Structure formats: C-alpha cells, structure tokens
Amino acid sequence: MCGNNMSAPLPAIVPAARKATAAVVFLHGLGDTGHGWAEAFAGIRLPHVKYIFPHAPTMPVSLNMRMSMPSWFDIYGLSPDADEDEAGIKRASENLKTLIEQEVRNGIPSHRIILGGFSQGGALSLYTALTTQQKLAGVIALSSWLPLRKSFPQAAANSANKDMHVLQCHGDADPLVPLMFGTQTAEKMKSLINPANMAFKTYRGLPHSTCPEEMVDVKRFIEKHLPAVSDE
C-alpha cells in the first residue's frame, strides 16, 4: 500500500480568543486523534495563540500486527536498533511543513509557531524542526524520541533551527518509550542545536501519558517563547 493518497480528517483547531499572532501545532500519538489533546490544552491556552491539533491518517501498523489505526508513519519496533519507516517519516514531515506554510500564508510567521507532539507525534515534530528551512519558535516533545537519528547531523545541515528552543519531557516509569530513549534523544539534540536552549524534564512515576505538572511546564514554555506582541 503506497500511502501517498492517504488523507486524514481536517485538524481540530482551537482559535485564539483574540487576534492570533502565534500558533502551536501539536501532534497526537499512535492510535489517537487530535481531539484529546485539544481538551488537554484547554486549561493552559493563551488568548493570542491559535492551537492546531492535526489527525494522523489511518494505516496498518507493523508494531500492532498490521492493524489499521491513526499513525503518522509505520512503526516496526520500539527499540533503539529497530528498523524505521524512512519513507513514511519523510512523507509525514513534508505534510507537516505544508501545514506550517498554510499558517504562514494565514499571517502567522513561522518564527511564531511552536511544533509539538506526544510520543510518535513528538518524534515527527523533532525530525521536522531539524530538517526544515522554516525558522520555528521551538519544539515540545512529550514521551518521545528522535527518529532516523543516524541520519543526523547531515540531515540537519540546512536547518534554520540550530538555535531553536526545545522542551523535552518524559515520565521515568514509561513502559512503551523508556526513559533511556528520551535521555539519548536529549543528548543527541544537544549536539544538533544550541545546548543551552535544550530543556529535558522528567516526572517521577509518570507512565506513557501526561500529568498536570507536565502541562504547566508546557504552558510556561509556550508563554516564554510565544509572548503576546504589543500591537494586539
């Protein structure tokens, strides 16, 4: 199955309470949709920020016995040496870059856009930010990893985001994407961007999910790097 013509439903969009001068694009994890994350962000929204929660297309996932479910790309295994769906990751990344371009055309400059995601969605956000020529405000990666990590640093040669800010968060009780993956990703990220702009936070007892403490950290990161502008 080729996958190029797989279409996903339109994103869940939470408009800004006043004129949108910034945006957060946040990608869900495997088997999920954008709606749950739209609800999770409800309590931390900022009035000048537009929030976009895309839905992944449905495809067979090798990790789950080829069952069809929402997925940004195929996953063969969750170990550091597992094979990766290089073509699918790159295709999904191009689609995400197109979504960013749409927001730029809508009047929000790319440097006022934060990419983010949970698990597989965070993986795609990290990969896209490192390989795009669109200058971004930053990335939020929750319970995540950097895909195709052996392609770096070469894959990031033309990146506009060597000084971007990254918030990476991980539960220390994650049974699906172990904390070690998060730690390895944080170390790799420090070699690809300004290490002073890389924050890695862990949460005691947190499994493969989020928690209120983590969402407060996410809100603070967005407030800091997408501040209100004076002409609103």
- Are 141 and 115 in contact by the 8 Å Cβ rule? The answer is no
Is residue 230 part of the annotated active site? The answer reads no
Is residue 231 part of the annotated active site? The answer reads no
SS3 182: helix
Identify the DSSP state of 17.
S
Active-site option among 55, 62, 151, 208: 208
Active-site option among 71, 93, 119, 125: 119
- Are 155 and 131 in contact by the 8 Å Cβ rule? The answer is yes
Active-site option among 32, 74, 85, 174: 174
Q: 88: Cβ–Cβ under 8 A, 6 or more apart, which residues? A: 3, 72, 73, 74
Is residue 208 part of the annotated active site? The answer reads yes
- Are 204 and 170 in contact by the 8 Å Cβ rule? The answer is no
SS3 203: strand
- Write the burial class of residue 66 (CB in 10 Å: 0-12 exposed, 13-18 middle, 19+ buried): exposed
- Are 57 and 44 in contact by the 8 Å Cβ rule? The answer is no
First-to-last CA distance in the chain?
47
Buried b (16+ CB within 10 A) or exposed e, 98-117: ebbeebeeeebebbbbbbbb
Catalytic annotation, residues: 119, 174, 208
